[in-house]
Amino acid sequence: MASGFFVLLDDIAAIMDDVAVMSKIAAKKTAGILGDDLAVNAEKASGFASSRELPVLWAISKGSLLNKIIILPIAFLLSAFLPDAIIVILVLGGLFLAYEGAEKIYEYIFPHSHEESAGITNENLTEEEILEVEKGKVKSAIVTDFILSVEIVIIALGTVIDEPLVQQIIVTSIIALIATIGVYGIVAVIVRMDEVGLKLIQLGKKDNSLLKKIGNLLVQALPIVIKGLTIIGTIALLLVAGGIFVHYIPFFHHFVPKINIPSIIKEFVIGLILGLIVLAFVNLFKKIFSKKKQL
């Protein structure tokens, strides 16, 4: 009886060793998309009043966790019974990400009013108006997170697809959890840089103290970091989208290698071109819908 118990413990230990090794491999393969996820979500979580940053980030984090809870069982079922559907979902998600990236570039070149980018920190707004704008930004962030989460889960699942189901579930779930806690934990640190800087400045007793220097550096660096993340986040959206198109659409998969330029540039250009095409269709649809509404 005792020997059977120790054999069971030995089997569990062996499984956990395998899980640790496979999780490490899956983490390496998803590192790029996790980096993109960080840049995109840091940009999405910025632009709020200081007192609302953490509550908004918490709302997005809960939405991200719910996304993973929805995606994981569906991914396991589709992988087992309908693997082709995963590719369709990835491509549709890629089109959405490409659209978001192209829209940001279009708005930068041709600025125009946008409901979601309304002055959320404007003191003239009422509390109800601020909360309404927040809801829109949170919803947009969660939708984007859903698409990125699908890509993360599918890539992680692909690394263990030949392993037993239990190990597939454990490894993919670990990566999904890291994608939520790790990414949004870092985002929380980024958006609170100025608050940490002010605390350090207050703690510094002398004008030239190290604490005050670090505090001033953090306060001054925050706008630059946020602006940089906005640019990186936009590029990341197009790179993720382009990567999906190159890997999962046969035309691009066979055509792109013939072009003698770095793959990262190919993926960015493809993501941007398809994003602009989707943007043109969306804008055309909006104009048609707007005219019909006026009639």
pLDDT for 12-54, tens place per residue?
A: 444 455 555 555 555 555 555 666 566 666 666 666 666 677 7
Which amino acid is it at 239?
Answer: L
Give the whole-angstrom CA distance, residue 109 versus residue 113.
13
Is the separation of the CB atoms in 279 and 99 below 8 Å? yes
Plot region of 257 (φ>0 → left; ψ -120 to 50 → alpha; else → beta): alpha
Chunked into runs of 10 residues, the chain (295 residues) has average pLDDT values of 41 48 54 61 66 79 90 85 79 86 88 51 62 81 83 76 76 84 80 78 76 82 77 82 84 73 86 94 87 69
- Give the domain extent around 122: 2-294
Query: What pLDDT, on a 0 to 100 scale, did the predictor assign at position 43?
Result: 66
User: pLDDT value at position 156?
Assistant: 78
Structural domains in the chain (count): 1
pLDDT of residue 4: 46
pLDDT number for residue 237: 80
pLDDT for residue 48: 66
pLDDT value for 44: 67
CA 89 to CA 154: how far, in whole Å? 10
Tell me the whole-structure pTM to 2 decimals. Answer: 0.67
- List Cβ neighbours of 175 (8 Å cut-off, separation of 6 or more): 23, 26, 27, 30, 152, 153, 156
